[in-house]
Amino acid sequence: MIPDITKLAEIAERLADAAGRATLPWFRAAQLGLENKLEEADAVGTTFDPVTAADRAAEAAMRAVLAAERPDDAILGEEEGSTPGTTGLTWVLDPIDGTRAFLCGGPTWGVLIGLDDGTGLRLGVVDQPWTTDRWIGIPGNSPDGSSGDAPGCGAWHRARGGAARPIRTRRCAALGQAVMMTTDPRLFTAAERPAFDAIEGRVRLSRYGYDCSAYALLAMGQIDVVIESGLHAYDVGAVIPLVQAAGGVATDWKGGDARRGGRILAAGDPARHAELLEVLSEVP
């Protein structure tokens, strides 16, 4: 456990507050300062990767807080890249995860704030400024990252000024009872898609387009599985510790450390996670 985790969590919440203030004036606005970051199609044929003035304003606001309160920590942000530090701690920032949803006026986007101590992700905040939903996760020291009974650890949800309430993932007796989410099945490569399709054919229900909100719903025990691919470190820096702190498991498709991004499998029930790894780990 890194020292002063409670104080660091308070700073993470101040980052979320700053990002929310910077972001909300742009949400559902007529002009968004929109640009396309892709100059050519990516590995799955995507030709549109949007960034808005809100993305840039939110990251700048978070970096300003860190410059004042944690100037010696490193930062990895989606829009401004890496800033070195000397403390061994790295703040992992995604100012708007789900920019496509943001463009459409949908509320499934969120601000992501993670903290990496060099050995793992120790803190995650997922914040939705429009709905005022905020999720906070502080994993413990157990091998799977779950919070257990470690002091100061766990996962919480708070909304509209209310008190924070503890949240936990739910157990799922069989894959046929599971609810699964992914952002968009078209984002899987040709090699990955058959495995996803096979799993989708076995679950009770699948839903698309929830971005970071899918992991938050998983942590709350509302759904059971999230499967994604092609992610970056800033896409997962907040959601992995949130899922782990709530009692779930989040790894890559081989069962390894996923904090650098790539292929992600998150499940609320460790048994279902192990079952799904048998399918996904075979993907080359």
CA distance 51 to 33: 8
**Residue boundaries of the structural domains of the chain:** 5-166, 175-280
Cβ-based neighbours of 271, under 8 Å, separated by 6 or more: 172
CA distance 227 to 59: 26
Q: What is the DSSP letter of 13?
A: H
- When the candidates are 3.30.540.10, 3.30.70.360, 3.40.50.720, 1.10.260.40, the CATH number that belongs to 5-166 is 3.30.540.10
Query: Residue-wise pLDDT tens for the chain (284 aa)?
Result: 466 899 999 999 999 999 999 999 999 987 777 777 655 545 555 655 678 899 999 999 999 999 999 999 999 999 999 999 999 999 999 999 999 999 999 999 999 999 999 999 999 999 999 999 999 999 986 544 444 456 679 999 999 888 999 999 999 999 999 999 999 999 999 999 999 999 999 999 999 999 999 999 999 999 999 999 999 999 999 999 999 999 999 999 999 999 999 999 999 999 999 999 999 999 99
Helix, strand counts (H, E) of the chain: 8, 15
CA distance 252 to 224: 16
Identify whether the C-beta of residue 16 lies closer than 8 Å to the C-beta of residue 1. Answer: no
**Token match 């002091």: residue?**
151
To which H or E segment does residue 240 belong? helix 239-245
- Phi first, then psi, for residue 135 (nearest 5°) are -120, 135
Q: Nearest Cα to 50, choosing from 33, 71, 66?
A: 33
Amino acid at 279: V
How many residues are listed for the chain in this entry? 284
Residue 147 pLDDT: 47
Strands 35-36 and 261-267 come out as: unpaired
What is the CATH number that goes with domain 175-280?
Answer: 3.40.190.80
Identify whether the C-beta of residue 112 lies closer than 8 Å to the C-beta of residue 220. Answer: no
Residue 143 pLDDT: 43
Count of C-beta atoms within a 10 Å radius of residue 68: 10
Residue 30 pLDDT: 74
CA distance 82 to 75: 6
Do 5-166 and 175-280 show the same overall fold?
no
Strand partners, 115: 91, 123
CA distance 153 to 277: 27
At 102, list the tokens.
Answer: 């943001």
The pTM score is 0.92
